């Protein structure tokens, strides 16, 4: 097989890491039973690929190669430990036997990443650590990306992850899908994890692109698996919400990568199959009368999806749905979204009044979308100086390049 150019190989392996590391890690955790060992061995396997693939060529199916290489790296590591610690000898024998056996998992959902998500979302872990650990270990987000999502420093986020991994190891917490009796208490954290993964793909925290299709696709895939495992209304609602939002992806940016607002999108580009599936799911969830915040957000997205034009959007219905959502999830971000809907229904002055009240709470001072929304209200009211100031604050807070270009363009238009 011909050798591969070093730069091309490195690019291929980086792409492979981005798309496959979550699957590889989750399978290794099941095989090895140790998150730290699995993570270290996986990184060694990717490093081994950089050394050997230039001569041997890239395998036709790289993921099994990575898993096989990583597990033998782990065995070698434990053998070295066994030279100094006799207690490790039995572990080596156990792992060698287990790794050579044909897998015959009896779990209802034969998916290692779903199993690992439930482990990372175990109730013995702090809620913020559950989400952070899953996003880091299973979905490959960097510590910095997760920290931005949580509005905390990377150092704080890293401490959460280390404490969570220590808790899993020392308790120990098993790597398994919970029993039906245990599932309800674990479901909320898992739903939150999946939706945060989707959000990072739907609107990247930083970088050159608005969306990351591999993350939204992964979140939707996990949502489908979770629905098979637990067909609860809120699982339906979350999957519906993700499908309805993802249906707009092709229309959200121009061919040159510029951001396009919802009101200006070409609705012919919206994915009709995803809209139909999402709408059916949200209707079923609403009919159960046991729904929550994800279903209400999906219902709002469905109203947008059903409008043939931006002008035809039923803003009264959207405000009514937001009123229900604020009652069960009174977060500042939900209040901000409701304020924007009020502005569309009643005018920018009404929206600005609500936004200013939210700012007085102090929680969204560093949230760029809040400043951007206030800037838009001021712009529509002709309060140019205030609009410019708010746009500049939003610009200073965002690190996504298309959003920065959009805000810079808005500022330039005001001049």
**Where are the domains positioned within the chain?**
6-100, 125-131+138-173+184-245+274-283, 328-415
DSSP 333-366: HHHHHHHHHHHHHH-HHHHHHHHHHHHHHSTTTT
Residue 328: CB atoms within 10 Å = 11
Task: Specify the CATH number for 328-415; select among 1.25.40.10, 1.10.357.10, 3.30.1150.10, 1.10.10.10.
Answer: 1.25.40.10
The reply to whether the predicted model has a pTM over 0.85 is no
Strands 206-207, 399-400: pairing is parallel
Q: Are 348 and 360 in contact (CB under 8 A)?
A: no
Judged by DSSP in three states, 253 sits in strand
CB 229 within 8 A of CB 33: no
Rounded CA gap, 137 and 352, in Å?
41
| Opening angle at CA 315, ends 311 and 320, nearest 5 | 170
Contact 361, 332 (CB under 8 A): yes
Q: Tokens 């580009």 map to which residue? A: 269
Helical (H) or strand (E) element with 399: strand 399-400
Q: Among 408, 97, 78, which Cα is nearest to 258's?
A: 408
Write down the pLDDT at residue 102. Answer: 41
Name the strand (E) or helix (H) holding 133: helix 127-137
Q: Which residues does the chain have with pLDDT short of 50?
A: 1-3, 102-110
Beta-carbon contacts of residue 271 (< 8 Å; ≥ 6 apart) = 246, 247, 248, 249, 250
Q: Which residues pair with residue 207 across a beta bridge?
A: 400
At residue 238, φ and ψ (nearest 5 deg) are -65, -45
Residue 218 pLDDT = 82
């Amino acid at each position: 097989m011909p050798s591969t150019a070093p730069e091309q190989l490195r690019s291929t392996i980086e792409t492979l890491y981005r798309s496959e590391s979550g699957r590889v890690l989750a399978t290794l955790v099941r095989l090895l039973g140790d998150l730290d060992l699995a993570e270290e061995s996986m990184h060694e396997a990717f490093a081994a690929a950089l050394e050997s693939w230039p001569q041997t060529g890239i395998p036709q199916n790289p993921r099994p190669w990575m898993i096989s290489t990583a597990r033998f790296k782990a065995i070698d590591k434990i053998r070295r430990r066994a030279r100094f610690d006799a207690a490790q000898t039995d572990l080596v024998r156990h792992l060698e036997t287990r790794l050579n056996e044909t897998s015959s998992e009896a779990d209802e959902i034969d998916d290692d990443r779903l199993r690992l998500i439930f482990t990372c979302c175990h109730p013995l872990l702090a809620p913020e650590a559950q989400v952070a650990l899953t996003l880091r270990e299973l979905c490959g987000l960097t510590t910095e990306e997760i920290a931005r999502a949580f509005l905390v420093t990377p150092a704080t986020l890293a401490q959460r992850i280390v404490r969570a991994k220590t808790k899993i190891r020392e308790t120990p917490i098993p790597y398994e899908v919970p029993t039906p009796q245990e599932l309800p208490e674990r479901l909320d954290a898992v739903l939150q994890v999946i939706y945060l993964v989707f959000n990072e793909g739907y609107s990247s925290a930083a970088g050159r692109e608005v969306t990351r299709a591999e993350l939204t696709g992964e979140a939707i895939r996990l949502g489908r698996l979770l629905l098979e495992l637990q067909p609860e209304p809120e699982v339906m609602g979350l999957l519906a919400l993700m499908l309805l939002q993802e249906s707009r992806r092709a229309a959200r940016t121009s061919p040159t990568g510029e951001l396009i607002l919802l009101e200006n999108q070409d609705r012919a580009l919206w994915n009709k199959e995803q809209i139909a599936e999402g709408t059916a799911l949200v209707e079923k969830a609403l009919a159960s009368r046991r729904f929550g915040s994800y279903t209400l957000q999906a219902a709002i997205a469905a109203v947008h999806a059903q409008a043939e034009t931006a002008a035809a959007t039923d803003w009264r219905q959207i405000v009514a749905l937001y009123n229900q959502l604020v009652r069960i999830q009174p977060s500042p971000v939900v209040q901000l979204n409701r304020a924007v809907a009020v502005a569309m229904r009643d005018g920018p002055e009404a929206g600005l009044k609500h936004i200013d009240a939210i700012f007085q709470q102090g929680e969204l001072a560093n949230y760029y979308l809040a400043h951007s929304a206030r800037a838009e209200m001021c712009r529509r009211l002709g309060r140019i100086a205030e609009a410019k100031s708010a746009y500049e604050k939003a610009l200073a807070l965002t690190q996504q390049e298309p959003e920065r270009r959009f805000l810079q363009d808005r500022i330039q238009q005001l001049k």
